[in-house]
Amino acid sequence: MTEGEGRPESTERKLAELTQRLERVERRVFPPHLTPDIQPAPAASHFATSTRPEPSQPAPAPPQRDLEELLGGRVLAWVGGIAILLGIVFLFGIAIDRGWIDEPMRTIFGFLGSTFLLLAGVWLYEQKGRTEAALAAVASALSGLYATLLVGTQVYDLIPPAAGLAGAGLVGIVGAAIAVRWKSPIVAAIGILGALLAPVLVGAGTSGLSLGFMAIALTAAVGVLLWQRWGWLSLGAFLVSAPQLLIWIGENYQERLLPALGVLIGFWALYTVAALGYELRARAQGELPVDSWFLLLGNVVLTAGAGYLVLSESGHPSAAVAWLLGLATVHILLGALALRQAINREIGSLLVAGGLGLSALAFADILDGPVLVVGWALQAVVLTYLATQASREETPYGSNAERLLLAAGAYLGLAFGHALVFEIQPSAILTGVENLGDALIGLGACAAAALYGRYALRDFDPSLSQGCEIAGASALFYLASVTIVDTFGVTASGESRQAGQVLLSAFWTLSGLAAVVYGLLRDVKRLRLAGLALLALAIAKVYTYDLAELEEISRVLSFVGLGLLLLVGAFAYQRIRVGVGDDSPEVTR
């Protein structure tokens, strides 16, 4: 054996000896129950041509927090922070009652104590670990600083409102910076929302300074929530700042109308970015958060309602309607732009729906009669189209499409309701209508919108598509019936004529027979059932209304016409049934 041939065996022998020595050392150092479960690697062999990877072990499950950890690590920390804050408040109360310190010293001690607690909390968090105790200390300190500003400005009148706003802004900046660095929602809530409440806390009133401060604080809040995607923060910022905005506008619009509207538009833009900014920035394709829905809806109601009321109260009703139409146009254009971009389609649909809602209100204010019905019907068509577009990207039927369809159904219901109440009342089937043209336009638009829904939804929701078909067909049938009565059953002076009701009974019978025959030829059961229902309706009308109300000759014509048509229908029914596959010998004969 040569020198080179013995090297692999020598190497394997040395590795085995090292492994045995390592095992002996481990048994001496570690107790048996703590000995690591280390499997020695298989000895290398020069005969091996491939290696088989070891099966991957599942990652250990993260430890679950039990009740003890919750109470010891979280509850105790926050209860302790609240206790410290309450203790400081009680101490100030005792000092005030007993006259230990005067008002300036109380304010100074409040600032110093809260600042010390803030620094201690930051030091604990940064140097000693990210504990709940540090978070509780910082949250309590920020609350203490705001409380001290409140007392110093509102109670003691030691701090001017402008200086109080500056101090509150500084506290808000510190709180926001800490919240972003630590990713702490509770610190963000206290720091940022406290800053938004600062004009109220320091008694700055409705001055331009307080409004500017709130705008800056809201802008900072929007930046933080877009960075961290804290949706609750956007909704909280809206709930805190919107009432202050309304108060400012209510007290200033009479003297400064245009600036008030400009401020309203600026805050609308901030709220819109707060609601949709993260999805626009991240181009997220998931479902839009609920808080964004609520914020965008509240923003639309706030901006449209406040602007409309301000303009109306200022004696500009036309400008108030133009305000609604302008907002509607902006929402629709932004929604259309969003739908064309590679971002969340729900955003575009939501903006368009909001714009259509505003336009509906504007239409209701400036329009009347069938034109309003046409506008609402068109909005139902647009919303149905958007719902079908959204459904193509959502499997199964997505919540966005469902909401859009609900809005479309609401608009279509408004259109039908207005048409049946004002343009073509149910009593028109007996007495006709005041204006047949208005009736044709109004109910015709409703029928067209419903039939579009039948076409658009046939692949997405067959049951809803059939419902739209029934609604559209019923509207056309009713419209044709009223047209017959108004044309042949009412004279120019408004008196009733018998011919209209006779023709109406014949029309109902013919329509029922046509539906039955077509349903037989096409083998569509719902058409056959609808036709039979119309025949039953025609029979009921002839045997009740016509028999009691019509004159003798008209009654005879009504009964004879009904009988002949029914005989023709029965004959056609049997012949068609034989032709479509009923080969019974009895029927053939």
pLDDT digits (tens, 9 = 90+) for 307-323: 999 999 999 998 999 99
Are 517 and 576 spatial neighbours (Cβ–Cβ below 8 Å)? Answer: yes
Return the amino acid letter for 47.
F
Q: Does the structure show a pLDDT above 50 at 41?
A: no
Arithmetic mean of pLDDT, 377-399: 73
Of residues 397, 277, 265, the one with CA closest to residue 347: 277
**Is residue 507 in a domain?**
yes
**Is residue 392 in a domain?**
no
CA distance 88 to 138: 15
The whole model's pTM is what?
0.61
Please, where are the H alpha helices in 99-160? 103-127, 132-150
* Least confident residue range of 143-157, 293-307, 529-543: 143-157
Q: How many domains are contained in the chain? A: 1
**Is residue 577 in a domain?**
yes
CA distance 469 to 343: 34
**Is residue 435 in a domain?**
no
Are 356 and 379 spatial neighbours (Cβ–Cβ below 8 Å)? Answer: yes
Of residues 549, 554, 473, the one with CA closest to residue 506: 554
Of residues 160, 159, 187, the one with CA closest to residue 174: 187
pLDDT band at 361 (very low <50, low <70, confident <90, very high): confident
Higher pLDDT: 136 or 6? It is 136
Residue 48 pLDDT: 41
**Is residue 502 in a domain?**
yes
Cis, peptide link before residue 243, omega less than 30° from 0:
no
What would the pLDDT profile of 201-219 be if each residue is shown by its tens digit? 777 777 778 888 888 888 8
**Is residue 550 in a domain?**
yes
What would the pLDDT profile of 153-176 be if each residue is shown by its tens digit? 887 788 888 888 888 888 888 988
Residue 97 pLDDT: 64
* Least confident residue range of 11-20, 48-57, 100-109, 235-244: 48-57
CA distance 231 to 304: 23
What would the pLDDT profile of 78-121 be if each residue is shown by its tens digit? 566 567 656 656 665 666 566 666 778 878 888 888 898 899 88
Residue 451 pLDDT: 95
**Is residue 331 in a domain?**
no
CA distance 366 to 360: 10
Are 573 and 554 spatial neighbours (Cβ–Cβ below 8 Å)? Answer: no
CA distance 41 to 245: 72
Question: Is residue 535 packed enough to be buried (19+ CB in 10 Å), middle (13-18) or exposed (0-12)?
Answer: buried
Average pLDDT taken over every residue of the chain:
79
Of residues 268, 403, 378, 406, the one with CA closest to residue 327: 268
Residue 75 pLDDT: 57
Q: Does the structure show a pLDDT above 70 at 138?
A: yes
The whole domain housing 507 covers: 443-588
**Is residue 478 in a domain?**
yes
Higher pLDDT: 506 or 81? It is 506
Higher pLDDT: 515 or 287? It is 515
Maximum separation of any 2 CA atoms in the chain, in Å? 133
